[in-house]
């Protein structure tokens, strides 16, 4: 027969321990209690017992143990809870994630096993913990675990593998973890200067008035960060006199037009505006709905004007633009990130 275990309202619980594990205290606070050794001993007995007590929040008890005692024994207790199907998903997931706070070797061994748990939340929490602490020893088990998981969880494990390799260059073995494991890639595009005839042809494909910009056909550039061709037209006045400070109201330096696939039709997609700033000028590339798509700066450097801007539109793959305007010639480089979208996804309604 098991020994009688302490209850949440019994005197064996110090006020600090009660406060740390009470089911009646909750909510909007950072839950990181640090308990004394005597309280930790009581807490370990409590958690090992697996007994449910309505006065005790076992998730809070798990967090209290992990924050207070980093040891092999605590690792075993947390791993046991994470693997125990009788515990709630909330408690199991928190236990798995808390193992990251345990001694590395013990934690890694426990998590390598838990990452193959049949409980999805435990797998997720274990993968997150492994990403923070694991050594190359975990790579093989992560590979094994990946084979049986859905793509989203595979990506979580890929982050763990990538982090391991980035922490341990020897384990990378010629791989680029970010590129290969997380599937990220970027491409650098140089803007291509168009000849005047091609520029004229493209300009003719634009039907709407282009905001009063008078394009310099000698200085139009094709810029393709994706499959759709964009053309940058600079205003004649900018090309002739590219000073940074042209009055307090700024200027329209040009526009970027987008060509519809398989047609000669172009539409103005972005307006390139330059605004005076104390240390040079700011550039804002504005969408037709008024949203800022790229923002950056112009600054004088070695007799040229350096251009630097970043994509700021929400929900898009990020693109950086770097370049310079020297002797009437613009060179631009676009660093385009791919396969890294952060789009807002609409949730699915639950029918009544």
Partner 1 sequence: MANLSVKGIAASCLGVSPPLSVRRDVYGYIWGDLDRVLTLKSHLQLISGTSMNLSPILVGHEPGFVGGAFTAADAQRIQAAIDVMRELYAQVGVGVRRIYWSYIPSAQAGGYTVVDAAEATDLTEDFSADNDGIDVFWVTSVTDAGGWSKVDGSCDKDKKGERTGAVLEILGSDLLAGILLAHEVGHYLGLQHASDITNVMGDDSDGDGIGSIDSTSLNLTVSQGNTMKSHCSIRNPC
Q: Is residue 292 a contact partner of residue 316, using CB atoms and an 8 Å limit?
A: no
Residue number, 128 or 219, with CB nearest to partner 1: 128
Residue 38: Cβ within 10 Å count? 12
Neighbour-count burial of 11, counting CB atoms closer than 10 A to its CB (0-12 exposed, 13-18 middle, 19+ buried): exposed
Asked if 315 touches partner 1 (CB under 8 A), the answer is yes
Tell me the C-alpha distance between 98 and 161, whole Å.
19
Tell me the C-alpha distance between 42 and 14, whole Å.
10
Q: Is residue 60 a contact partner of residue 31, using CB atoms and an 8 Å limit?
A: yes
Residue of the chain from 2, 3, 4, 29 that contacts partner 1 (CB under 8 A): 29
Residue of the chain from 127, 130, 283, 285 that contacts partner 1 (CB under 8 A): 127
- Using the contact rule CB under 8 A, the part of the chain among 4-12, 28-36, 227-235, 297-305 near partner 1 is 28-36
- Using the contact rule CB under 8 A, the part of the chain among 29-37, 175-183, 195-203, 239-247 near partner 1 is 29-37
Q: Is residue 321 a contact partner of residue 294, using CB atoms and an 8 Å limit?
A: yes
Q: Pattern of binders to partner 1 over 51-90, x per CB under 8 A?
A: ---x--x-x---x-------------------------xx
In the block, tokens 């997609």 appear at 269
Least distance to partner 1, CB of residue 148, Å: 15
Asked if 26 touches partner 1 (CB under 8 A), the answer is yes
Tell me the C-alpha distance between 254 and 220, whole Å.
10
- Using the contact rule CB under 8 A, the part of the chain among 20-28, 71-79, 171-179, 317-325 near partner 1 is 20-28
Give the 3-state secondary structure of residue 268: strand
**Interface size with partner 1, residues (CB under 8 A):** 46
> Which spans of this chain sit near partner 1 (rule: CB under 8 A)?
22-32, 54, 57, 59, 63, 89-91, 93-94, 97-98, 120-121, 124-125, 127-128, 150-153, 155-156, 314-315, 342-350, 352
């Amino acid at each position: 027969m098991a020994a009688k275990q302490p209850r949440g309202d019994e005197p064996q619980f110090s006020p600090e321990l009660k406060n740390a594990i009470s089911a009646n205290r909750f909510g909007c606070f950072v839950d990181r209690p640090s308990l004394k050794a005597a309280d930790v001993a009581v807490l370990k007995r409590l958690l090992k017992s697996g007994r449910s007590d309505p006065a005790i929040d076992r998730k809070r008890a798990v967090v209290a143990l992990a924050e207070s005692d980093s040891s092999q024994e605590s690792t075993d207790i947390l791993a046991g809870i994470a693997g125990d199907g009788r515990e709630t998903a909330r408690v199991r997931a928190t236990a798995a994630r808390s193992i990251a706070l345990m001694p590395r070797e013990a934690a890694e061994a426990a998590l390598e096993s838990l990452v193959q748990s049949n409980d999805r939340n435990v797998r997720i929490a274990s993968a997150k913990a492994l990403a923070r602490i694991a050594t190359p020893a975990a790579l093989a088990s992560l590979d094994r675990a990946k084979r049986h998981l859905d793509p989203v969880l595979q990506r979580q494990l890929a982050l763990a593998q990538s982090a391991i390799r980035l922490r341990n260059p020897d384990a990378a073995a010629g791989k680029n973890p970010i590129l290969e494991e997380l599937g990220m890639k970027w491409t650098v595009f140089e803007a291509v200067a168009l000849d005047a005839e091609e520029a004229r042809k493209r300009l003719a494909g634009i039907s709407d008035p282009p905001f009063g910009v008078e394009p310099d056909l000698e200085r139009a550039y094709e810029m393709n960060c994706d499959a759709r061709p964009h053309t940058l037209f600079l205003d004649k006045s900018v090309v002739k006199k590219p000073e940074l400070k042209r009055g307090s109201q700024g200027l329209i330096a040009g526009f970027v037009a987008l060509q519809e696939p398989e047609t000669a039709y172009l539409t103005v997609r972005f307006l390139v505006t330059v605004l005076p700033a104390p240390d040079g000028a700011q550039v804002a590339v504005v969408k037709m709905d008024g949203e800022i798509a790229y923002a950056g700066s112009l600054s004088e450097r070695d007799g040229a004007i350096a251009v630097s801007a970043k994509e700021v539109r929400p929900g898009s793959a990020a693109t950086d633009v770097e370049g310079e305007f020297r002797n009437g010639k613009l060179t631009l480089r676009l660093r385009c990130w791919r396969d890294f979208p952060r789009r807002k996804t609409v949730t699915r309604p639950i029918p009544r």
